Amino acid sequence: MWKPVLFLIAALNGLNALIMWFAPQYWYDTVPGVAMMGPLNFHFVRDIALVFGMSAGALAWGAVKLDRTAAVIGATWPCLHALFHIWIWATHRGAPFDQIAFVNLAGIQLPAWAALTAAFKFRTREI
């Protein structure tokens, strides 16, 4: 049951990494809330793309090789990123329930915590 979750989140992180790497202006212009954080910095966006790519690779490796440690490592970045966004939402934005909060929930929080749950819950015989 958990192997498809790891693959799905690996694919989402991988796709995000590719868009950030090859089309950082598009990513900056289309993701709600990103432009509020300041001007586009191509170097920074591509640095983060590398981390999302590493996360995708570790999640996929964990699922393919039945390696829980790799899966947890792959889930670590998204979870730290999610915690950072909770802090931004609560302390800098005043905890509004708006489009940015919804995108944060659907695009950052749910995938991050689902990946960590999947990493800890899968059983090698199940996968």
In angstroms, the CA 78 to CA 109 distance is: 8
What is the distance between the alpha carbons of residues 13 and 83, in angstroms, rounded to a whole number?
Answer: 17
Domain count, the chain: 1
In-domain check, residue 79: yes
Q: Could you report the average pLDDT of every consecutive run of 10 residues in the chain (127 residues)?
A: 93 98 97 91 97 98 94 97 94 88 92 95 64
Please report whether residue 87 resides in a domain.
yes
Predicted local distance difference test score (pLDDT) of residue 28:
97
Full domain range(s) for residue 115: 3-121
In a domain, 109, yes or no: yes
Confidence at residue 126, expressed as pLDDT on a 0 to 100 scale = 52
| 75 belongs to a structural domain | yes
Domain annotation covers residue 101: yes
**Closest to 24 measured CA to CA, from 16, 36, 32, 33:** 16
Hey, what are 38's tokens?
């300041």
The per-residue pLDDT for 83 is 97
Tell me if 127 is assigned to some domain: no
